[in-house]
Amino acid sequence: MPEIRVAPFSEHLGADILGADLTKPLDDAAMKAIVGALHDYGVIRLRGPFMPDINLVNFAQRFGTSKYSLSEFVDKCHPELVIVSNVEVNGKTIGLKDAARKWHSDLSYMKTPNPISILYAHEVCKQGGGTQFVSMYRAWETLPKDMQERLDGLEAVHSIENYGFTGKDGMPAEQRKNYPEVTHPVVVVHPITKRKALYVSEGTAIRILGVSEAESRELLDFLFEHSVRDEVMWTQTWQVGDILVWDNRCTMHKQTDYDPTERRLMKRATVMEVFPGI
Ligand code: SIN
């Protein structure tokens, strides 16, 4: 296999992986280079020709175990994958529709979120329908020192209700039972890089514990705005066949708007448990 090359998009976030052929098993050296780039840049892209989903499944299996709990949208042929799509068949969407409207890191409303996500483009929009990323390392590192001291050691409550159920009826009772609110530290330490990253998103973080309601609101609003400044952002413009791998422990993401008459179809491996060193 030709040597893997890493072409960063910027100093802190995003890189293209060149020279990886996912139609063949990747050797250990190639995997090491890919995982190293993921740790260095938070999100990596493999841009290649469209290939069968089995190659994505095989690739995802090199990171750990993938599964997704909302069985309705699990891919029938490859249960390791979940469909992310606005495409409708018989009046019903075939996948998670617009699953990323708000800034979030995946499954942060769960006690144990998935560390890594891998998204594969089947059908893309002619305009828009991209995915924006920010580095939460940089969000933390660029906070004033006194703010870092104020936040370190605090915890925040996260809720799926805030993410997807803001309509007048709120979240169905059944869902509420399945997804109770959870808490996570406001700043987390990445288990491999040992760097600190901010871990609150407008998508799921609803309250900071141990401070007044008013202070919690003020802090969250400040942190949401601080995290998504242009200088820490990278936007993926999708091409069919693109694969993005991102690390939810140090990035947040969000989809960009698109014309709803366009078809957008992706498949995602939700890597729930990663292998040691990843
Ligand atoms: C996701 O959050 O997994 C999906 C991102 C996207 O649809 O752009």
Contact between residue 121 and residue 49 where contact means Cβ atoms under 8 Å apart: no
**Would you state the structure tokens that stand for residue 249, as one six-digit string?**
């422990």
Pick from 200, 227, 246: which is nearest to 39 by CA? 246
Split at pLDDT 50, 70, 90, the class of 67 is: confident
Distance, in Å, from the CA atom of 113 to the CA atom of 185, rounded to the nearest integer, reads: 13
276 Cα: distance to centroid of ligand 1 (angstroms): 25
Q: Which atom of ligand 1 is nearest to the CA of 119?
A: 3
195 Cα: distance to centroid of ligand 1 (angstroms): 25
Pick from 121, 114, 72: which is nearest to 95 by CA? 72
Residue 53: what are its φ and ψ, rounded to 5°?
-55, -30
Per-residue pLDDT tens digits for 245-256 = 999 999 999 999
pLDDT at residue 99, rounded to an integer = 81
254 Cα: distance to centroid of ligand 1 (angstroms): 7
Per-residue pLDDT tens digits for 15-32 = 999 999 999 999 999 999
Domain boundaries, the chain: 5-274
Query: Distance of alpha carbon 231 from its chain centroid, rounded?
Result: 19
pLDDT of 177 above 90? no
CB atoms within 10 A of CB 50: 12
Split at pLDDT 50, 70, 90, the class of 171 is: low
Q: Which of 234, 239, 255, 256 to mutate to test the pocket of ligand 1 (most atoms within 8 A of CB)?
A: 255
177 Cα: distance to centroid of ligand 1 (angstroms): 25
Pocket of ligand 1 (CB under 6 A): 84, 99-100, 106, 117, 119, 131, 253, 255, 266, 268
Average pLDDT over all residues of the chain: 94
Ligand 1, atom 1: closest residue by C-alpha: 100
Question: What sign does the CA torsion over 239, 120, 181, 63 have?
Answer: negative
Ligand 1, atom 2: closest residue by C-alpha: 100
Residue written as tokens 């606005």? 86
Tell me which fold the domain 5-274 belongs to.
Double-stranded beta-helix (3.60.130)
Residue 222: what are its φ and ψ, rounded to 5°?
-65, -45
Split at pLDDT 50, 70, 90, the class of 71 is: confident
Parallel, antiparallel, or unpaired for β 15-18 and 116-123?
unpaired
CB atoms within 10 A of CB 69: 12
pLDDT at residue 68, rounded to an integer = 84
pLDDT at residue 164, rounded to an integer = 67
Split at pLDDT 50, 70, 90, the class of 231 is: confident
Distance, in Å, from the CA atom of 184 to the CA atom of 108, rounded to the nearest integer, reads: 8
pLDDT at residue 72, rounded to an integer = 84
Please state the three-class secondary structure of the chain as a single string. Answer: CCCCEEEECCCCCCEEEECCCCCCCCCHHHHHHHHHHHHHHCEEEECCCCCCHHHHHHHHCCCEEECCCCHHHECCCCCCEEEEECCEECCEECCECCCCCCCECCCCCCCCCCCEEEEEEEECCCCECCEEEEEHHHHHHCCCHHHHHHHCCCEEEECHHHHHCCCCCCCCHHHHHHCCCEEEECEEECCCCCCEEECCCCCCEEEECCCCHHHHHHHHHHHHHHHCCHHHEEEECCCCCCEEEEECCCEEEEECCECCCCCCEEEEEEEEEECCCC
Q: What is the pTM of this model?
A: 0.95
